């Protein structure tokens, strides 16, 4: 399994109830069910992937994550995962707020736009960056947002999301092994993975 998904999996408690937003054909869910005995559901917009997930015996709902996440009761899940999709979300604050309503914790991962390779393309070549992590041209990209790790931390603070845990990884997208970027993560990391909780309200 992809290294970023391995990190996410390591954060999930055995037996937890997990919702995976944009779960694809359910690779992460299958892994978590097998390795951690979780009870999981997924939401996916692509019919073929939903069908593949269902034929793997997973529980999945076919639809748009922004709409489908709204129907779950408060705190129905322990962890709600949004892996590699944040850059495509129209209203990230609202979606993450919903994630933290239906789940106790949220896990969010995204490609780091402040990676030195991205910066170099813009600086030296003077063109919109295309990388393994962000492989699209400006005219055909589903990614409507560019996010740096630093931006995301600031966004969480402003939106009232507590960062419980953060890992920056230096690993190309599909690789199964990877390294964690501890030094200058905003410059060196290809991906950021954040574990979020609701910020504790200030004492009265």
> Using the rule CB under 8 A, is 54 a contact of another protein?
yes
Structure tokens at 70: 């709204």
* 101 near another protein (CB under 8 A): no
Counting contacts by CB under 8 A, is residue 182 touching another protein?
no
Asked if 55 interacts with another protein (CB under 8 A), we say yes
Binding of another protein by 66 (CB under 8 A): no
For residues 70 and 113, give the distance between their C-alpha atoms in angstroms, rounded to a whole number.
29
Q: Assign 37 to helix, strand or coil.
A: coil
Beta-ladder partners of 186? none
Please identify, among the stretches 4-12, 53-61, 164-172, 192-200, the one whose residues bind another protein according to the rule CB under 8 A: 53-61
Is 57 a residue that touches another protein (CB under 8 A)? yes
Least distance between another protein and beta carbon 166 (Å): 30
- The site string for another protein over 32-51 (x = CB under 8 A, - otherwise) reads ---------x-----x--xx
Which of residues 1, 13, 15, 71 is near another protein by CB under 8 A? 71
Distances (CA, A) of 199 to 100, 101, 166, 167: 10, 12, 15, 19
Q: Token match 């999945």: residue?
A: 60
Contact assessment for residue 20 and residue 83, using Cβ atoms and an 8 Å cutoff = yes
Minimum CB–partner distance for residue 63 and another protein (Å): 7
**Cα–Cα distance, 47 to 124 (Å, whole number):** 41
Nearer to another protein, 13 or 71 (CB): 71
Which of 188, 1, 23 has its CA nearest to residue 107? Answer: 23
Among the listed residues 1, 15, 35, 59, the single contact to another protein using CB under 8 A: 59
Q: At CA 148, angle to CA 199 and CA 12, rounded to 5? A: 50
Is residue 64 a contact residue for another protein (CB under 8 A)?
Answer: no
Binding site for another protein (CB under 8 A): 41, 47, 50-51, 54-63, 68, 71-73, 76
């Amino acid at each position: 399994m992809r290294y970023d998904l391995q990190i996410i999996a390591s954060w999930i408690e055995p037996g937890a109830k997990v919702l995976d937003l944009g779960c694809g054909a359910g690779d992460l869910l299958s892994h978590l069910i097998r390795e951690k005995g979780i009870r999981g559901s997924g939401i996916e917009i692509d019919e073929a992937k939903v069908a593949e997930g269902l034929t793997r015996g997973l529980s999945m709902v076919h639809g748009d994550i922004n709409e489908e996440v709204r129907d779950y009761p408060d705190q129905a899940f322990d962890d709600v995962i949004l892996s590699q999709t944040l850059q495509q979300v129209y209203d990230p604050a609202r979606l993450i707020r919903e994630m933290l309503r239906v789940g106790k914790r949220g896990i969010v991962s995204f490609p780091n736009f402040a990676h030195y390779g991205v910066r170099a393309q813009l600086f030296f070549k003077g063109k919109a960056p295309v990388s393994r992590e962000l492989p699209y041209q400006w005219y055909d990209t589903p990614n409507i947002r560019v996010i740096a790790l630093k931006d995301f931390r600031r966004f969480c603070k402003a939106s009232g999301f507590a960062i419980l845990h953060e890992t920056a990884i230096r690993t190309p997208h599909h690789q199964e092994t990877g390294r964690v970027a501890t030094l200058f993560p905003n410059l060196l990391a290809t991906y950021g993975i954040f574990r979020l909780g609701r910020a504790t309200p200030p004492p009265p």
